[in-house]
């Protein structure tokens, strides 16, 4: 597929058609690694590690725990 290089501010830009972006697993606002290999521009999506709540909770240390904090009586629509 042919496309054209355009100007975007002081940089150059191209539009990536939706079908090609899907085939390459490129997603909106996701990071990509841009490299030049043998004179060819290569875009590679950066794999981000998925973090689970369970793994985050397992990292809590005993010294980070605290008891309840009293902030006063319920006010307005806070009353349950």
- pLDDT tens track for 1-14: 889 999 999 999 99
Residues 32 and 26 sit within 8 Å (Cβ to Cβ):
yes
Return the ∠ at Cα 24 (arms to 19 and 29), rounded to 5°: 90
In this model, does residue 80 exceed pLDDT 70?
A: no
> What is the distance of C-alpha 33 from the center of its chain?
14
What mean pLDDT do residues 58-71 have? 90
> What is the distance of C-alpha 29 from the center of its chain?
7
Q: What is the pTM of this model?
A: 0.53
């Amino acid at each position: 597929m042919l496309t054209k290089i355009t100007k975007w501010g002081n940089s150059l830009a191209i539009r990536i058609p939706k079908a090609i972006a899907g085939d390459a697993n490129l997603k909106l606002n996701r990071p990509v690694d841009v490299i030049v290999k043998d004179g060819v521009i290569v875009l590679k999506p950066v794999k981000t590690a998925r973090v689970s709540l369970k793994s985050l909770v397992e990292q809590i240390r005993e010294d980070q725990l605290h008891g309840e904090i009293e902030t006063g009586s319920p006010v307005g629509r806070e009353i349950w």
